[in-house]
Amino acid sequence: MNPELDRLIKVILKECELSYAASQGPGGQNVNRRETKAIVKWNLWTSSIDALSKERLAYKLKAKLTRNGEIVVYDQSSRHQQTNEQRAKQKLAAIVRKGLERPKRRRPTKPSRSVLQKRADQKKMKSELKSSRKKVKI
């Protein structure tokens, strides 16, 4: 896709903190012994990305940011720690990619001639209908 965006995401994934916790759900004794839930934290304000990208991310991802300016993503869908770590990093990358995405410019469009004609005809008919309801002057 965009090489600049890919470079930013690589920087972000290098800066993120990784921790593990006991995951929820079925699994018996193994769930209690292993910490397979992967938690990825990335601080927006202490990141080394450029200021413009920080502002754009802060604006677009304000609902996902903590008070400290962190984005916290976790995954516990697998029983394997490495798989959960990879998925959590992929989730973070997807969130950042969506936040840095520039919206396409909207080109203003004009209504077609036939639509304008149809609207004028309808207005004319409605006007005639209303005028036919008036009292007739003798």
Radius of gyration of the chain (CA): 28
What are the beta bridge partners of residue 21?
37
> Which CATH number covers residue 69?
3.30.160.20
Interval 100-115 mean pLDDT: 91
Three-class DSSP category at 6: helix
Q: Is the pLDDT of residue 110 over 70?
A: yes
Residue 100 has pLDDT above 90, yes or no: no
Establish if 113 belongs to a structural domain: no
Between 137 and 18, whose confidence is greater? 18
- Residue 72: band (very low, low, confident or very high) from pLDDT cuts 50, 70, 90: very high
pLDDT of residue 9: 86
Q: What is the pLDDT of residue 111?
A: 93
Residue of 16, 34, 32, 4 lying closest to 100 (CA atoms): 4
Instruction: For residue 40, give both structure tokens.
Output: 């990825």
Interatomic CA distance for residues 53 and 67, integer angstroms: 19
Q: What is the pLDDT of residues 26-62, one digit of tens each?
A: 767 777 788 889 999 999 888 888 888 888 888 988 8
Domain that holds residue 32: 3-100
Mean residue pLDDT of the chain comes to 88
Number of domains comprising the chain = 1
Residue 106 backbone phi and psi in degrees, to 5: -85, 130
Helix axes 81-100, 51-60, angle to 10 degrees: 100
Closest CA to 1 of 66, 98, 79: 98
Residue 37 forms part of a structural domain: yes
Q: Contact at 8 Å (CB) between 81 and 35? A: yes
